[in-house]
Amino acid sequence: MTTSSRPLLLADALLVDPAAGTETRGGLLIRDGVIADTGPHLTAASVGPDVEVLACGGKVLAPGLVDMRCFVGEPGYEYRETIASGTAAAAAGGVTTIVCQPATDPVMDDPAIVDFLLRRARDTGIVHVHPMAAITKKLAGREMTEFGLLQEAGAVAFTDGARSVTDALVMRRAMTYARDFDALIVHHTEDPALVGEGVMNEGEFSSRLGLGGIPVEAETIMLERDMRLVKLTGARYHAASITCRDSLAIIARAKTEGLPVTASVTINHLTLNENDIGSYRTFCKMSPPLRTEDDRLALADAVADGTIDCIVSDHDPQDVETKRLPFAEAHPGAVGVETMLPAALRLVHAGLVSLPALFRALSTAPAALLGLPGGSLAVGEPADLVLVEIDEPWVLNRDTLRSKCKNSPFDEARLTGRVAATFVAGRKVFSLSA
């Protein structure tokens, strides 16, 4: 990825550095694609004529987002998303790094597929792209992939995407294997037997709608099993999508015991609840399902206190043919990489999460977890940045989304806060005013 040859000063911004936990009014100087200096002393008058100056007018300047759960359709599902369209959507959402899921066709269980994705990302992407490889071949949950070869090819972690590894022996072996390679296991914790024919959260609302319910135990039982296996193997483990209060207690207990466990929540589970399904809105059909308002508030508190480490978009484009169906038959999943930050700012405006805590979960924590650069405004870090007009009200029109598919649960939602510009290695890859 090329970088701008001329130094750039982003002047008069509110510098939010989640790594340092600070909010400072000042400027940030970019030179050769990295952060060269920051602080109140950097103004338009303090730099030479060779420096390009962008007046930020008090907008928030923070590290670019690192989204560790984002589906792009290459190879095999280009009609849903390509790297070009997916990274364009990411840039518009302030996301400077996406980590792709392995549920492609063919499945990303071979070093050649990882190499293909990285080459396509180099040629067509405008933000950083990294692959997660499969834990098991063809995501079938039976035979492990070659972690060492996949890691060598460029895989940053291992997951079976939206599928759980139900066989405890296979999972134990995978964790043991991962421990030996210091690899991260990212697991979707949902027991398919307990999910059964369920399509939404089990409770009074599912009964009223006449839809099959999925109990929280489908998640907690699998999560409890995994904690036992982490204790047995010592593997680094990340719960891909926590959705309920009961699971938070399990994660908190594991952390207290000193286990190498971390967890994510999707932006959908953090800002929506089961009632948003309303009159069978298929755009709100997710896997795992949206839970209760009590669960949602517990998840927000967990982001604030660090029990939840990361927020992910769970970007999962679905075309009209799979969404314009009766609720029970429609595919789960929603686009989200472009709307993740504006939706997450609802938590800040509601006083539930501070700005540094929010960006820590959106940027610093996932970068550190995956061993990727970024997530900080420190001097010497890559100039992967997002500029945000935090108080700007707007209404989302799904037709303006950059993704190939438009299945957004935030369609026509009133949002406050919008990405004004995104920089990758110091190069502007998105501007709202352009």
Which residues carry out catalysis? 314
**DSSP letters along 220-282, please?**
HHHHHHHHHHHHHH--EEEES---SHHHHHHHHHHHHTT--EEEEEEHHHHH--GGGGTTT-G
Residue 119 contacts by C-beta under 8 Å, 6 or more apart in sequence? Answer: none
Q: Are 86 and 401 in contact (CB under 8 A)?
A: no
Tell me whether residue 314 is annotated as binding.
yes
Tell me whether residue 110 is annotated as binding.
no
Q: Which of 335, 315, 406, 404 is nearest to 79 (CA)?
A: 404
Q: Which of 388, 99, 62, 413 is nearest to 271 (CA)?
A: 413
Tell me whether residue 188 is annotated as binding.
yes
**DSSP letters along 250-265, please?**
HHHHHHHTT--EEEEE
Q: What are the φ/ψ torsions at residue 231 (nearest 5 degrees)? A: -65, -35
- The dihedral region occupied by 161, where left means phi > 0, alpha psi between -120 and 50, and beta the remainder, is left
Around Cβ 381, how many Cβ atoms within 10 Å?
19
- Residue where the block lists tokens 């949206």: 290
Q: Which residues are annotated as a binding site for substrate?
A: 332-333
Q: Which residues are annotated as a binding site?
A: 188, 314, 332-333
Q: Which residues are annotated as a binding site for Zn(2+)?
A: 188, 314
